[in-house]
Chains A and B, each alone.
Chain A
């Protein structure tokens, strides 16, 4: 492989890595947000992602519920919006049904962790029973409207697009191309994560959430309705997971076990520092880049090996992650 070729691969994989990393970031930030408030790993988080994916899929292709009633196919905007809200509500419902009764009885977070594993199995199997376990592909033309808008905006900056089959590509010079979809997922991730940051920094409830992440009990003493606050946090986590779910089911395929991919988001959150939102973003980008660079330069079969090696090295060298609370800080 020539030097030029190597550089092309490097740039190409960095772009792919950032795009994948931004999807991981959406998932990891929601997971980390819940962790920061309730101090437990919510393993049902992957379930929220699957819920989002299926709602979007169902509405895009139109629903026919045993002939009783039919819903005509929605466009991506409406289907996406419903998927985000639906997953948000399922996340809140999960908290109310499975976690709240435990929270009110004990402060041991281990029980919450076990309950979340149960919920994750329940959600997965509900989909296996109701819609079947087979793989489903989201129609590849769903983002056409969105792409058309993007094309105009990028065209304004002098970037011309080409089409190769169904994929829509931009040439960045040399042989480096970036697909419309990668740009879209990057933009959407930046918009939502920026929006979350604004919400946390500029609003009264955002301040309450940051205070609760520091000390939930004391936040309650400030007149914050803790139960409502936890509801809001789960809703936000569900919405972010659903975006990740839609993008992942478009990039790969949709199936009931798709939530398993959150393992990667957990790894990202641990690398960045559990409970830290900037940490979750940084960890996700590192992970996305590591995956894509190992795919490009070693082999795609090695990418999970690289990812989990990163995790092990991080836990040995800096167990609290890049932005995590050091154990001594907690005392």
Chain B
């Protein structure tokens, strides 16, 4: 195995995942540089969520490895989180019977006794002031947008080097999506690299620096996001506008 290319923070190489006879991912590779936002876009069933779960060690990889800073990541998800990757899962998955504060505390679980957790809590509250107002409320009583903010805040509490987001726009009103994406840009500017998986291709391409387009488990195209936004083929298939 050759060492990971210099400069890339996260590198997934030749990932294969199958569910029984169904091959969900057939050799997908991706790299993410320090301070970069990379998005993976594709239709429903293209294997986007499977890819995220494979990186996090939540599904078994048949083949392929993931490297962080050139070091091979464990296949156990709790170790992946400890080494600096945090996933905001599809559908938010906040812990509904726990309070907002407890949801944020559990996000800091891997850092027991290290660093200043209270300070990071303030940082998350400064990103999402709504969460501070509702810190003693049960997470299940929050609106969809607030739950998404909480899920992002919870992932940030682990102080990740890479923040992974699986469909953050799912089921949210367009105005809330804009807010969330604006916050993601701010989080990125504060030094967190972001890997984003989205069906909402336009928003994802507008936010990210580079993007990969996934089709039925394989790479269709990759490139700089602004180029892909202008690409006639992409426009027609993923952005729903005819090029003329």
Contacts and interface: CB of A to CB of B under 8 A. Distances in A.
Interface residues of A, number: 17
Interface string B90-134: 000101111000100111011010000000000000000000000
Given A215-B95, A218-B95, A225 B106 contact: no
A221 B56 contact: yes
Contacts of B77: 220-221
B154 interface: yes
Contacts of A226: 78
A223 B82 contact: yes
Nearest to B88: A221
B158 interface: yes
Contact of B110 (A207, A210, A223): A223
A246 B239 CA distance: 68
Contacts of B89: 218, 221
Nearest to A204: B112
Given A211-B95, A214-B96, A214-B98, A219 B106 contact: yes
A208 interface: yes
A207 B105 CA distance: 8
Contacts of B98: 207, 210-211, 214
Interface string B41-75: 00000000000000010100000000000000000
Residue from B77, B82, B89, B112 with most neighbouring chain A CB atoms (10 Å): B77
A152 interface: no
Contacts of B213: none
A222 interface: yes
Contacts of A210: 95, 97-98, 102
A217 interface: yes
A224 interface: yes
Interface in A220-263: 220-226
B58 A222 contact: no
Nearest to B140: A329
Contacts of A224: 78, 106, 109
Contacts of B109: 204, 207-208, 222-224
B87 interface: yes
Contacts of A221: 56, 58, 77, 81, 87, 89, 93
Interface in A165-223: 204, 207-208, 210-211, 214-215, 217-223
Nearest to A217: B58
Contacts of A223: 78, 81-82, 109-110, 158
B102 A207 contact: yes
Nearest to A220: B77
Nearest to A205: B109
B86 to A, nearest CB: 8
B6 to A, nearest CB: 28
Nearest to B154: A222
B106 A211 contact: yes
Chain A CB within 10 Å — which of B96, B105, B109 has the most? B109
A329 to B, nearest CB: 8
Given A219-B106, A223-B81, A214 B97 contact: yes
State the 10 A-B residue pairs at the shortest beta-carbon distance, nearest first. A223-B110, A223-B81, A218-B93, A214-B95, A225-B78, A211-B95, A211-B106, A223-B109, A223-B78, A220-B77
Given A204-B109, A215-B93, 10 more contacts: A207-B109, A214-B95, A214-B96, A218-B89, A221-B58, A221-B87, A222-B154, A223-B158, A224-B109, A225-B76
